[in-house]
Amino acid sequence: MSVETHSPVREPLHRPAGLAGFAADWASDQRTFKNVSWGKAMMWIFLLSDTFIFGCFLIAYMSARMSTAVPWPNPSEVFALHIGGSDVPLILIAIMTFVLITSSGTMAMAVNFGYRQDRRKTALLMVVTALFGATFVGMQAFEWTKLITEGVRPWGNPWGAAQFGSTFFMITGFHGTHVTIGVIFLLIIARKVWRGDFDTGRRGFFTSRKGQYEIVEITGLYWHFVDLVWVFIFAFFYLW
């Protein structure tokens, strides 16, 4: 006589509804981060935390500007350059913004060629992006030098509200530091790409698995974030 065995019937798993379902999705690496590498996930987490920092800085700037009883300096006058016998408002800031936005395009192209494993074009475009970033930092240094020469300090300035100097140096300095770090990182990764480290699987810092150019995409995430933050700084600090 044969004995039939039956496996226990498993109840289907149901996804919770509402906020509980949203939390369940983001709490499980089998859903949200199933196909995301550790490096890329950590970069997204870092950028999220950096978003909070820049957000706090901009909120503090807006609070200081709206609460001060002393007139706030006019950005069109403060950031004007004397060219051809007349003051051109925000010309330097416009060029800086154009340079940084253009660098986002070259970085996107570098990531695209990285997907195709074209190491020469990838490395070249990363170097071009780094040069754009270095140009931006150089123009920002010129801007700082000009304002310091004209008497702007973290504790005051000759045009009005004393908070102008502190917020300006804090926000633009923090962003400029990010750009500088990005330029250094771009040059490091570009050298590795040009040398073929990602094609041969050469061991070392920031070297991915053989045939993987993922670090180029991770670098691009950081660079696009820096560019996006500048758009908000440009809008809130220079146009308001």
Please give the pLDDT value at position 11: 47
- AA identity, residue 226: V
Whether the pLDDT of residue 217 is over 70: the answer is: yes
> DSSP of 91-126, one letter per residue?
HHHHHHHHHHHHHHHHHHHHHHHHHTT-HHHHHHHH
pLDDT digits (tens, 9 = 90+) for 127-136: 999 999 999 9
What's the count of helices (H) and strands (E) in the chain, helices before strands? 8, 2
- Domain boundaries along the sequence of the chain: 37-238
Task: State the virtual CA torsion across 134, 135, 140, 145 in degrees, nearest 10.
Answer: 100
CA 121 to chain centre: 23
Q: Minimal CA–CA distance to 233: which of 125, 82, 97, 135?
A: 97
How large a percentage of the chain has pLDDT more than 90? 49
Q: Is 81 helix (H, G, I), strand (E, B) or coil?
A: strand
Q: Is 128 helix (H, G, I), strand (E, B) or coil?
A: helix
Tokens representing 37?
């590498």
Considering Cα of 153, then 158, then 163, then 164, what sign does the dihedral take?
Answer: negative
pLDDT digits (tens, 9 = 90+) for 131-150: 999 999 999 999 999 999 98
Q: What whole-number distance in Å separates Cα of residue 205 and Cα of residue 192?
A: 10
Q: Minimal CA–CA distance to 198: which of 219, 177, 181?
A: 219
Helix or strand (DSSP H, E) at 61: helix 38-67
In 212-227, which positions are buried (b, 16+ CB within 10 angstroms) versus exposed (e)? bbbbbbbbbbbbbbbb
Q: What whole-number distance in Å separates Cα of residue 108 and Cα of residue 85?
A: 40
Tokens representing 89?
């408002």
pLDDT digits (tens, 9 = 90+) for 26-81: 665 455 556 667 788 889 999 999 999 999 999 999 998 898 888 888 888 888 88
CATH number of 37-238: 1.20.120.80
- Whole-model pTM: value is 0.82
* Contact by Cβ (8 Å): 108, 231: no
Q: What whole-number distance in Å separates Cα of residue 232 and Cα of residue 100?
A: 13
